[in-house]
Amino acid sequence: MSWIILILSGALEAVWAAALHRTFQATGRRRTLPALLFLASVIASTGGLAIAMQSIPTGTAYAVWVGVGVVLTSAYAIITKVERATAARLLLLGGIAVCVVGLKVVA
């Protein structure tokens, strides 16, 4: 169950990163709904990480949490055309995903 919480918390890391980007997007003024989504998701994300760390070693839990967040945040940026989907970027993100799975396997 800790692994599921950890992966969901990593997904929420991508949510708060996207919400933070939307909070100050283009207009230069703060937008309320993305700011509230940012606050809620950052609290839930770090809370889930804390729960998972009770039974998963700290370094492993943090690496998985960040890895899931990085891959999903980058996928969101590519889908929304904020970043380009280059072959190198996709290969390296795939490498991060493989490393996250590897940490689960050896933990």
- Using alpha carbons, select from 43, 19, 42 the residue that is nearest to residue 31: 19
DSSP 68: H
- pLDDT tens for each residue of 39-66: 999 999 999 999 999 999 999 999 999 9
pTM of the predicted structure, to 2 decimals: 0.84
Q: What is the mean pLDDT of the chain?
A: 91
First to last CA, the chain: 14
Is the pLDDT assigned to residue 26 strictly greater than 70?
Answer: no
